[in-house]
Amino acid sequence: MHVTTRLWIWAMRPYAAAGASKYIVAVAATGLALSALRPAFERPALTAIALILLGKIVATFPETSNHSLLEFLAVALFAFLDRRSVEEGELLLRACRWMVLIVLFWSGLQKVLYGTYFHAQFLGAFIAFKSSFAQAFGAILPVAELARLQSLPIRAGAGPFAVNSLPLVMLSNAVYLVEMVLPALLLWTRTRAAAVLAAILFTAVLQTAAREIFFGALFLNLLLLFARRGVNRRLLPLFAMLYLGLLMTRLLAPGVYFN
């Protein structure tokens, strides 16, 4: 559902290099996804979808988003392992969980290594230059600080982008701390349930603010693999509504930005 929705939305974007072939890809992936619902066709269909995603990554490299890799790897794992076998099902679950832990941890560590979150410099710059971030974080900034940031030009020497607002600086530091600590809490059985809830909340807020709805949805699905078995399945109607909503938004309001 995730992959086909994303492929349809990709197909609807103006992208001169691919032309009408994007629709062929979207139609093929939809057909394969539907056939994957039948157990006998599940793994061959998922293998074909994984190949389509790999082809798309190769064709658009290096413009490909990090999200695309995670999406491909998740599908490839489901194609590679037979989840009906207890042993392989367990291996599949553990592999997907490890991917989540690695992505979360590195997302936090990279922010530390770049050093642009200690004084909220990155958030300050994005609030200055991106209206979606100004809308999302403007409410916790003093009006004068928001106005100062938004008046900064994009040129060498402009700044400072360090934000003079304790709540935003705390939030900025919380981002990488949460990303680096959550993996440990997700690993430890005793803290796992609380960590899943915290991670879901964190991902939902952060990805919504960044308008990275597809990455958010994929990551929420993967995070739910740490919850009790079957939660993903129970939440399927909710995700179906989300994907349908995204598709309708792209059709009816193509100017609305989300990724």
Partner 1 sequence: MNVAAKRRVIAAGLVVFALWPLVHRVLVLRYDISPWRFFGWAMYCQPKFAPEVAIYVRRGAERIPLIEAAGEPSELQRRRRDYVRRREMWGGLLAPDNLGREALRAAGDADVVEIIVRRLVIEPATSRLTAREETYTYPAAPPSSG
- Does 239 help bind partner 1 (rule: CB under 8 A)? no
Shortest Å distance, C-beta 87 to partner 1: 5
Q: Which of 25, 49, 75, 81 binds partner 1 (CB under 8 A)?
A: 81
Is residue 87 a contact residue for partner 1 (CB under 8 A)? yes
95 binds partner 1 (CB under 8 A): yes
Based on CB atoms, which residue is closest to partner 1, 162 or 231?
162
Stretch of 41-49, 59-67, 219-227, 240-248 lying at the interface with partner 1 (CB under 8 A): 59-67
- Annotate 28-90 with DSSP letters as a single string: HHHHHHHHTTSHHHHHHHHHHHHHHHHHHHHHHTTS--HHHHHHHHHHHHHHHS-TTSHHHHH
Q: Which is nearer to partner 1, 129 or 258 (CB)?
A: 129
Q: Which is nearer to partner 1, 52 or 125 (CB)?
A: 125
Report in angstroms how near the CB of residue 30 gets to partner 1 at its nearest: 26
Burial 137-174 (b: 16+ CB within 10 A, else e): bbeebeeebbebbeebeeeeeeeebebbbeebbebbbe
Nearest to 31 by CA among 12, 44, 17: 44
H or E element at residue 202? helix 189-209
Cβ 13 to partner 1 shortest distance, Å: 16
CB of 101 to partner 1, least distance (A): 9
CB 222 within 8 A of CB 183: no
* Residue 62 near partner 1 by CB under 8 A: yes
Enumerate residues 6+ apart whose C-beta is below 8 A from 118: 172, 173
Distance CA 76, CA 36 (A): 13
User: Site for partner 1 (CB under 8 A): which residue of 118, 148, 227, 235?
Assistant: 118
Binding partner 1 (rule: CB under 8 A), the pick from 8, 10, 78, 122 is 122
Q: What number of other Cβ atoms are within 10 A of residue 4's Cβ? A: 20
Which of 5-13, 39-47, 155-163, 247-255 is the region at the interface with partner 1 (rule: CB under 8 A)? 155-163
CB 152 within 8 A of CB 174: no
Binding site for partner 1 (CB under 8 A): 62-64, 66, 69, 73, 77, 80-81, 85, 87-88, 91, 95, 98-99, 102-103, 106-107, 109-111, 113-116, 118-119, 121-122, 124-126, 129, 154-162, 210
